[in-house]
């Protein structure tokens, strides 16, 4: 007996055997069981998601000898003939090969005659969007008012090409792309029935390559079984697909996290021995970085596929070695490298340069040093043109020190140092000799400035007493002096949405075993029982006692830690704008070239330090 491919051998025979598409199956099952059947159905979706399969099961449900219902018997003559593709009253038409109007007229000539064997005459028209305009027009009247014994089942991968007159006459069901998890689990179930050994990672690779199509997945599985000698193995599947093992990409990221340049190039050389598709390598790296970013926000399980404990452990390990800023920067570099890969003379060199670029650049950092410091040019933003407003966006402190840019002998570079050479004697060296030394920036808002912002209120005395030693008490309304609650939030080292809940609260009162907080009304969506419990547990661990957390609604614009941070950034930005505007070089540029300063392009540099007014 000839071999039957898996896609045909294991084609579902009942609705219960279908994988996914529950939103479509529910509607069809209810229609069949309640005998509320429309005369025309349109099934849309990408290739291999079950359009034809659903149509055949539906036809079988209509013509089963035991009656119309959502569970055909599968053993009567009608059910068997439909499964075998030889039921005379199921007319399957490939619209791609019968596009002319004459073909459509021939097809509809026998619509008026009763079915020969079954209860209904079912017309299954696949790829119906291939019909010509004249064919659609010939079909309109019959599709709108067919005889009671006729049902039309239309299937297409491109519903946009169907005329609105056809769409309005059908019940439309959109079949979704299948998830990687559903495909992987179904392949594992079939291999168990076929008594073929497999590795879970191999099935994950096949499910990814199927791109949402179950038929593609089964075809690839057939190929993998033929390719391997004793089962479906991950290494053989990657070799067959031309992809790379996830472990290879993980090693690249580990070398980046360790700042190991020679190790990174050595791993790239080992990768090159496999002769990979370098675009696929970059895509795998992009996918891993995406999962890593998800894991840093949602936890290791949030970035891994459901049930993949090995991937969750790897993501948790990498998330601890790389900061969120580095992951975002590496992701952007990899995206640009994939786009530019056709431009490089050798794909391997394109991959190597992308990895070395990740190694060379670091996210810009923001720090508030204890001693005044001049603005320092960030090495992560290379100066490619004369721009006096180039500055780094404030970021969280890095996990490792940022190296000095090449050529910097230790002194901080002003943002305008690269422009002075363009101005000649008048604005260059002579002007530099007359320039006064830059002093530390002082944040002194003008009278009336910030009147639209609410003034911070002093915490109650019992709060200062209950959290004594945390932040040093309250010294005034300046946002540059953290209150006890802000300092405590920093010490708790919270993360994710629990951190957002904490920094959008103000401390109302604290007593033995209880902490009362007021939540900003605009952040009510952050308040959930799980986040309250997590915050209470963190407070209890820090204070060494069991804490009952009471969360009440505060007032809009209250001086929460989040509000204080925004105030500080606003004042820092205003001070940066003032320093740029008063810079002698910028003034000279305005005078000589009549240039305008783009205010939105100004950012506060890492060295810009603000002091509370009056200090």
Least confident of 116-125, 129-138, 406-415, 509-518: 406-415
Do 24 and 135 lie in one domain? The reply is yes
pLDDT exceeds 50 at position 399:
no
Q: Let me know whether 111 and 30 are in one domain.
A: yes
The CATH number for 317's domain is 1.20.272.10
**Where among 508, 538, 558 does a domain terminate?**
558
d(CA 480, CA 301): 38
- H/E stretch holding 311 reads helix 309-321
Kindly state whether residue 563 falls inside one of the protein's structural domains: no
Kindly provide the residue ranges of all beta strands, DSSP E only, lying in 95-169, ordered along the sequence.
Answer: 121-126, 150-156
Q: What is the mean pLDDT of residues 530-544?
A: 88
Same domain, 303 and 188: no
Residue range 146-150: mean pLDDT, rounded: 92
Q: Which of 510, 536, 558 lies at the terminal end of a domain, its last residue?
A: 558
Q: With 70 as the cut, is the pLDDT of residue 302 above it?
A: no
If asked whether residues 192 and 133 sit together in one domain, one would say: no
Indicate whether 168 pLDDT > 70.
Answer: yes
- Tell me: do 132 and 224 sit in the same domain: no
Indicate if 214 and 136 belong to the same structural domain: no
For residue 365, being part of any structural domain is answered with no
Residues 55-91: pLDDT tens digits? Answer: 999 999 999 999 999 999 989 999 999 998 899 999 9
pLDDT at 482: 62
322 closest CA partner among 359, 351, 377, 279:
359
pLDDT digits 0-9 by tens, 340-385 = 999 999 999 999 999 999 988 877 643 333 333 344 333 333 333 3
Residue 282 pLDDT greater than 70, yes or no: yes
147 and 75: one domain?
Answer: yes
E strand map for 466-604: 505-511, 514-519, 548-553
Q: Lowest mean pLDDT: which of 194-208, 210-224, 412-426?
A: 412-426
Do 254 and 232 reside in the same domain of the chain?
no
In a domain, 533, yes or no: yes
Task: Write out the E strands in 234-385.
Answer: none
Supply the mean pLDDT for the chain: 78
**pLDDT band at 162, cuts 50/70/90?**
very high
CATH code of 144's domain: 3.40.50.300
Could you report the per-residue pLDDT of 561-613, keeping only the tens digit for each? 888 888 888 888 888 888 888 888 888 888 888 878 787 787 777 666 665 55
169 and 212 assigned to the same domain: no
Domain boundary among 307, 331, 360: 360
pLDDT band with cut points at 50, 70 and 90 for residue 125: very high
- Asked whether residue 165 is domain-assigned, the answer is yes
Q: What is the pLDDT of residue 166?
A: 92
Mean pLDDT of 270-291: 88
Domain enclosing residue 18, as ranges: 6-174
* 155 beta partners: 43, 126
Residues 95 and 73 in one domain: yes
The C-alpha angle with vertex 159 and arms to 181 and 154, in degrees rounded to 5, equals 90
Q: Does a structural domain hold residue 495? A: yes
pTM of this prediction? 0.55
Distances (CA, A) of 431 to 251, 408, 420, 436, 597: 52, 21, 9, 10, 20
**Whole-angstrom Cα distance, residue 199 to residue 245?**
13
Q: Do 65 and 192 fall into the same domain?
A: no
Q: Are 187 and 206 in contact (CB under 8 A)?
A: yes
Number of domains within the chain:
4
187 in the same domain as 98: no
Name the DSSP class of 445: P
Are 350 and 590 in contact by the 8 Å Cβ rule? The answer is: no
Q: Please state which of the ranges 13-17, 290-294, 474-478, 569-573 shows the lowest mean pLDDT.
A: 474-478
CA 84 to chain centre: 43
In this prediction, what percent of the chain has a pLDDT beyond 90? 32
Q: Is the pLDDT of residue 212 over 50?
A: yes
Burial label, 283 (beta-carbon count in 10 A; 0-12, 13-18, 19+): middle
**Residue 374 to residue 609: CA distance in whole angstroms:** 9
Contact partners, residue 61, CB within 8 Å, separation at least 6:
15, 32, 68, 69, 70, 71, 72
Could you report the per-residue pLDDT of 414-450, keeping only the tens digit for each?
Answer: 433 433 343 344 343 344 333 434 434 444 444 344 4
Residue 296 lies in a domain: yes
Of 572, 153, 613, 135, nearest in space to 391 by CA: 572
Mean pLDDT of 121-149: 91
Question: Is 464 part of a structural domain of the chain?
Answer: no
Band of the pLDDT at 306, cuts 50, 70, 90?
low
Over residues 516-522, mean pLDDT: 90
Give the residue, 456 or 63, on which the prediction is more confident: 63
Evaluate whether residue 376 is within a structural domain.
no
Q: Is the pLDDT reported for residue 310 higher than 80?
A: no
- The CATH number of whichever domain residue 550 belongs to comes to 3.30.300.150
pLDDT at 459 over 80: no
């Amino acid at each position: 007996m000839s071999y039957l491919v898996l896609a045909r051998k294991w084609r579902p025979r009942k609705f219960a055997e279908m994988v996914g598409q529950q939103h479509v199956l529910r509607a069809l099952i209810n229609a069949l069981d309640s005998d509320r059947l429309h005369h025309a159905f349109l099934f849309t979706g990408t290739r291999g998601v079950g359009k034809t399969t659903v149509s055949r099961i539906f036809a079988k449900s209509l013509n089963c000898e035991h009656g119309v219902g959502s569970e055909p018997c599968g053993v009567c003559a009608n059910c068997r003939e439909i499964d075998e593709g030889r039921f005379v009253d199921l007319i399957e038409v490939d619209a791609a090969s019968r596009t002319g109007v004459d073909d459509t007229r021939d097809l509809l000539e026998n619509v008026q005659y009763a079915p020969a064997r079954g209860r209904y005459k079912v017309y299954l028209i696949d790829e119906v969007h291939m019909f010509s305009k004249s064919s659609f027009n010939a079909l309109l009247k019959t599709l709108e008012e067919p005889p009671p014994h006729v049902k039309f089942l239309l299937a297409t991968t491109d519903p946009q090409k169907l005329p609105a007159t056809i769409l309005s006459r059908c019940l439309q069901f959109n079949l979704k792309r299948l998830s990687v998890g559903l495909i992987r689990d179904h392949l594992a179930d079939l291999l168990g029935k076929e008594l073929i050994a497999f590795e879970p990672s191999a099935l994950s690779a096949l499910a990814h390559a199927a791109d949402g199509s179950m038929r593609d997945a089964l075809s690839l599985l057939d190929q993998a079984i033929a390719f391997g000698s004793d089962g479906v193995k991950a290494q053989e599947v990657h070799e067959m697909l031309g992809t790379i093992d996830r472990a290879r990409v993980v090693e690249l990221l580990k070398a980046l996290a360790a700042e190991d340049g020679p190790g990174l190039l050595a791993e790239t050389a080992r990768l090159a021995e496999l002769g990979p598709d370098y675009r696929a390598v970059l895509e795998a790296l992009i996918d891993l970085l995406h999962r890593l970013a998800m894991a840093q926000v949602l936890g290791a399980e949030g970035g891994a596929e459901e049930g993949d404990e090995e991937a969750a452990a790897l993501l948790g390990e990498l998330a601890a070695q790389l900061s969120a800023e580095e992951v975002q920067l590496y992701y952007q570099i990899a995206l640009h490298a994939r786009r530019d890969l056709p431009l490089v003379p050798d794909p391997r060199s394109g991959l190597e340069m992308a990895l070395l670029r990740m190694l060379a650049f670091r996210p810009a950092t923001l720090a508030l040093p204890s001693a005044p410091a001049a603005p320092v040019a960030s090495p992560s933003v290379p100066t490619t043109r004369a721009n006096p407003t180039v500055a780094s966006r404030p970021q969280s402190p890095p996990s490792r020190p940022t190296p000095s840019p090449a050529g910097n002998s230790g002194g901080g570079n002003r943002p305008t140092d690269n422009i002075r050479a363009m101005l000649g004697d008048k604005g260059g060296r002579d002007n530099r000799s007359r320039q006064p030394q830059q002093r530390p920036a002082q944040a002194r808002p003008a009278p009336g400035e910030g009147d639209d912002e609410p003034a911070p209120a002093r915490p109650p005395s019992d709060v200062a007493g209950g959290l004594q030693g945390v932040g040093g008490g309250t010294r005034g309304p300046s946002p540059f002096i953290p209150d006890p609650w802000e300092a405590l939030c920093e010490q708790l080292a919270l993360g994710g949405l629990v951190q957002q809940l904490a920094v959008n609260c103000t401390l109302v009162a604290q007593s033995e075993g209880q902490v009362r907080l007021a939540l900003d009304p605009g952040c009510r969506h952050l308040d959930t029982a799980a986040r309250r419990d997590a915050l209470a547990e963190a407070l209890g661990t820090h204070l060494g006692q069991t804490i009952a957390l009471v969360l009440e609604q505060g007032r809009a614009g209250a001086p929460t830690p989040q509000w204080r941070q925004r105030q500080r950034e606003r004042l820092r930005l205003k001070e940066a704008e003032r320093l740029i505007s008063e810079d002698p070089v910028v003034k000279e540029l305005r005078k000589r070239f009549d240039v305008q300063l783009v205010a939105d392009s100004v950012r506060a540099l890492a060295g810009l330090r603000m002091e509370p007014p009056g200090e």
